[in-house]
Chain A
Amino acid sequence: MDILEYAFMQRALIAAVLVGLVCSVIGTYVVLKRLAFIGAGISHSAFGGVGLGYLLGVSPIGVAIPFSLAIAMAIGWVSRRGKVSEDTAIGIFFAGTMALGVLFIGLREGYNVDLFGYLFGSILSVSTTDIWIILGLGLGVIGVVLLLFKEFFFMSFDEEMAAVSGLPVDRLYFLLLGLMALTVIVSIKIVGIIMVEALLVIPAAAAFQLTRNFVRMMLLSVLFGVVSGVAGLFISYHFDLASGATIVLTAGAIFLLCFGLSPKRRGRRVSA
């Protein structure tokens, strides 16, 4: 295809595939363990990190990585041991870190930041460095998931039983939140801070409509995530639409299709 002659389109395509892959794998846990709101809290916290990076005059993504990891741990800590209810705590972190980001960027004199790009994605400005960051972090996340596959599986299904069996569920939970934070970072350039939540939830939720087998659900989720990324990219290019939004809406259309076709909803038997 001729549009792939452009180097920026090649990079965008690689990024879309990688992000679709990583988000859908982590998204499987987000959907099954009902971490969607925690995911929203973590993703919005990345904006505080981006803002701090600008203020300090260093790489925004470089600062967003430790910043998001720290907020993810803080949200996890509150949700586990806190005296504040989990959704209230997330609501506070969510808005608080966004506000910090706005404040930080405002403090930087004469700013002309592409805020819009961080919030809603700017896939066509993906640089070679970005590709390496996405590849490195993405493979790291996938590697950890493969290494601890059965542990995350058990913990997602039944945390108390996993604890009784001697699995270190607290550490696994915080590790999962950390992986979510890294997934958010990986996705910022593609769909942006505001919309990354969609890629964490929609492909896995669509896959959940079609199967009662965990591995099949994860594989279907990856298929949907990657197809959304690639199809969304091409559609946005052809019709000159915002790429991040088009990718998210493509995923949404896939979900609606799966929801309509779901044998579960029609009460049919699905083998596990």
Chain B
Amino acid sequence: MTNPSVISLRDVWVFYGETPALKAIDLDIEDGEFLGLIGPNGSGKTTLIKVILGLLKPDRGKVTVFGAPPDRLGRSRGLIGYVPQRSQGDWTFPVSVRDVVLMGRYGRIGLFRRPTAADEAIALKSLDAVQMREYAGRHLGQLSGGQQQRVMIARALAGEPLLLLLDEPAAGVDISAEDQFYELLGELKEKHGLTIVVVTHDIAVVSSHVEKLACLNQTLYIHASPEEVLTAGTLQKVYGCEVELLAHGRIPHRVVEEHD
């Protein structure tokens, strides 16, 4: 590839009224990268994802995704799979797991046309990939939080993306399910050659699974391997206060940095 950056942001600023949500963001995410985007609540993580998705136009700066501005991707829009925050869903909506996953195909099917047998097959294959096929006929509201999240990933996979963006995917999922969840992401990345960006404020769990971490709090502090980032100096700068870190290894231990 001549340009290995799947996502490239140059001096990106976003303001909500007078308040800057993102300041001078420069970020390049390479093809095949598995990135954890971390930062405290209100640090602009979701804003950054919305900018990358083209749902929000930056007030300043340049964004390219697969070499084009995100709102001018046209057919390439299908290359992006997005898993939104769980709290956004309407879990009472009358829709089956199969229908939700099939929605991941709609962008590719195009206006006016109906899903074909091939689309159905891809939807079921995507459910297989997240081990949820047996739930295809269930109503979405009958699943547990972790299962719903898997269905949302299956929906993103059904669009056959090259880039997967996940916003707080493990929120409301217990720790062991969370570990399994990141393992699943790792497997999918290997199998489908995906570039994955996971937004989370749970530093400990994500850092033991991803290859790179980026720390955001309005500005981007660092974009490096978890080992480099987890030197507490950086985290303290990002969070601006005491950092409590429940490290996630064979022996769980707690790292508490004192704040002066």
Contact = CB atoms under 8 A, between A and B. Distances in A.
Interface string A78-121: 00000000000000000000000000000000000000000000
Contacts of B141: 212
Interface in A258-272: 269-272
B155 to A, nearest CB: 8
A213 B97 CA distance: 11
A272 B97 contact: yes
Given A161-B103, A165-B107, A213 B94 contact: yes
Contact of A160 (B88, B94, B109, B112): B88
B159 A208 contact: no
Interface in A154-178: 154, 156-158, 160-167
B99 A160 contact: no
A77 interface: no
B93 interface: yes
Interface in A185-233: 208, 211-214, 216-217
A25 to B, nearest CB: 15
B112 A147 contact: yes
A217 B92 CA distance: 13
A152 B137 CA distance: 21
A211 B115 CA distance: 23
A269 B139 CA distance: 9
Contacts of A238: none
Contacts of A211: 94
Given A151-B111, A212-B141, A160 B103 contact: no
Nearest to B100: A157
B157 to A, nearest CB: 13
A154 B55 contact: no
Contact of B137 (A153, A166, A216, A271): A271
A214 B106 contact: no
A271 B77 CA distance: 33
B138 A272 contact: yes
Interface string A229-272: 00000000000000000000000000000000000000001111
B107 A158 contact: no
Contacts, number: 85
Contacts of B159: 165
A217 B94 contact: yes
Given A161-B82, A166-B107, A156 B93 contact: yes
Nearest to B104: A165
B142 interface: yes
B103 A157 contact: yes
A38 to B, nearest CB: 17
Interface of A: 32, 147-148, 150-151, 153-154, 156-158, 160-167, 208, 211-214, 216-217, 269-272
Interface of B: 53, 55, 73, 77-78, 80, 82, 84, 88-90, 93-97, 99-100, 103-104, 106-107, 109, 111-112, 114-115, 137-142, 155, 159
8 contacts: A32-B94, A150-B106, A150-B114, A154-B103, A157-B90, A160-B55, A167-B106, A214-B99
Q: Which are the 5 A-B pairs with shortest beta-carbon distances?
A: A272-B96, A165-B107, A272-B139, A212-B139, A166-B107
Given A148-B112, A150-B106, A212-B141, 8 more contacts: A150-B114, A160-B55, A161-B82, A164-B53, A164-B80, A166-B73, A216-B94, A272-B140
